[in-house]
Amino acid sequence: MPPEAFARDQLTRLITLTTCNPEFSARERLIVHGVLTTQYPKIAEHPELRPPELEER
């Protein structure tokens, strides 16, 4: 079913990251799946602003 068929609160934003070693080979492969939990708007006037999760502790 197309995404438009679902209510907005039933959709999940996902990301899949892949890497392999050696490059372009399947010998060693890592696949990581993630779910978007927070989204921050970009503010053009303040490019130095970063999400609190990226600040060093």
Q: Decide if pLDDT at 54 tops 80.
A: yes
Euclidean distance between the first and the last CA atom of the chain, given in angstroms as a whole number: 44
CA-CA-CA-CA torsion sign (19, 48, 39, 56): positive
Query: Residue 4: phi, psi to the nearest 5?
Result: -65, -20
pLDDT in tens, 6-50: 887 778 889 999 999 998 888 999 999 999 888 888 899 998 888
